[in-house]
């Protein structure tokens, strides 16, 4: 009986391998084929092999040698809600991030969208759009595709259209603004686009990055954090390098402690108010909700970050 199951297993493996070999699809731009994927290889219109795929690896050219690995794909389905990444071979660098058919530069999920896909009428047709301009760039069509093959196709399109350069050029450089004595830091949601929730910091005033909302502007002098235009004694906060707390309100529930990595309520355990702040990110310690993570750029003081992530900045 065991022998029988073993041969059934071999048959299944053989069929899966054969199915992978049958993968055959093209990427079209303005009615002409610019890339072709077949037998685990991506080639351009001249027939030159750009990539070869094997399992979750993408190799340079026709090679399958370990020294020629270009990308390592950690994703089961880039069209799903699960977040996937494309790493360097040593996994020390994230080149691209993928979620729900969207393709992002590095680990960013906001302005850094390179491409996004929309399924066509047929199961095996994908429209690929410019992530910045929201215009149709190309169409992927064929009999089937593997996840790694599809990633290779999106990488090829990204390089073909130079989307990396476009995204970088469109992204504000916080350090450049700092040299002008303007914005030196910003904080925004990491996993969704919401300009109303993006904040900028110029070293003195925290304010919404977009729109005119003077009621939501705050000033910080290193010790006191208070509304900039509409001063209210009950909305003033104090900071001594360790404790972030109301200046005049004696409610102990509002006292937070910073221990160098974790911001948390001082007098009682409230898991929803514990935040880890490190490496340009702020995330809820006990929540896996992607809405509870922020990207921090430039130089922002801990109490200014705390005001935003704890929900006090938006009055």
**What is the overall mean pLDDT for the chain?**
82
Pick the more confident residue, 290 or 38: 38
Long-range contacts of 243-252 (CB under 8 A, 24+ apart): 244/302, 244/303, 244/306
What are the backbone angles phi and psi of residue 167, rounded to the nearest 5°?
Answer: -65, -45
Per-residue pLDDT reduced to its tens digit, 232-252: 778 899 988 889 999 888 788
pLDDT band at 59 (very low <50, low <70, confident <90, very high): very high
Please state, in angstroms and rounded to a whole number, the distance separating the CA atoms of residues 87 and 90. Answer: 8
First to last CA, the chain: 70
Per-residue pLDDT reduced to its tens digit, 72-124: 999 989 888 788 889 999 888 888 988 888 888 887 554 467 887 887 766 66
pTM to 2 decimals? Answer: 0.53
Helix 163-170 vs helix 147-161: angle between axes, to the nearest 10 degrees? 70
Q: Out of 1-5, 98-102, 147-151, 251-255, pick the least confident.
A: 1-5
Per-residue pLDDT reduced to its tens digit, 250-280: 788 889 999 888 999 998 888 888 999 988 8
Burial of 269 (0-12, 13-18, 19+ CB in 10 A): exposed
Sign of CA dihedral 94, 99, 103, 107: negative
What are the backbone angles phi and psi of residue 54, rounded to the nearest 5°?
Answer: -155, 120
């Amino acid at each position: 009986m065991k022998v029988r199951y073993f041969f059934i297993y071999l048959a299944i493996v053989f069929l899966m391998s054969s199915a992978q070999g049958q993968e055959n699809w093209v990427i079209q731009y303005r009615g002409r084929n610019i890339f072709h994927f077949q037998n685990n290889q991506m080639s351009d219109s001249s027939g030159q092999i750009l990539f070869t795929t094997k399992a979750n690896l993408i190799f340079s050219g026709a090679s399958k040698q370990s020294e020629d690995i270009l990308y390592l794909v950690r994703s089961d389905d880039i069209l799903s809600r699960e977040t996937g990444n494309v790493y360097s071979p040593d996994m020390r660098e994230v080149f691209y991030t993928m979620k729900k058919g969207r393709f992002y530069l590095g680990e960013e999920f906001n302005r850094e969208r390179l491409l996004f896909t929309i399924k066509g009428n047929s199961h095996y047709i994908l429209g690929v759009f410019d992530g910045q301009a929201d215009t149709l760039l190309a169409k992927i069509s064929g009999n089937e595709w593997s996840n790694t093959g599809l990633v290779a196709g999106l990488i090829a399109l990204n390089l073909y259209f130079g989307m990396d350069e476009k995204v970088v050029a469109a992204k504000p450089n916080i350090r450049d603004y700092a040299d002008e004595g303007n914005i030196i830091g910003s904080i925004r949601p990491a996993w969704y686009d919401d300009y109303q929730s993006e904040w900028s910091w110029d070293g003195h005033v925290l304010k919404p990055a977009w729109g005119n909302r003077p009621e939501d502007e705050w000033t910080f002098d290193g010790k006191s954090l208070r509304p900039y235009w509409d001063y209210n004694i009950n909305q003033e906060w104090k900071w001594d390098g360790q404790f972030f707390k109301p200046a005049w309100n004696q409610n102990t529930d509002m006292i937070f402690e910073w221990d160098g990595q974790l911001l948390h309520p001082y007098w009682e355990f409230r898991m929803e108010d514990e935040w880890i702040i490190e490496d340009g990110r702020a995330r809820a310690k006990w929540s896996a909700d992607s809405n509870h993570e922020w990207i921090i750029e430039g130089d922002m003081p801990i109490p200014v970050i705390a005001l935003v992530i704890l929900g006090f900045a938006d009055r």
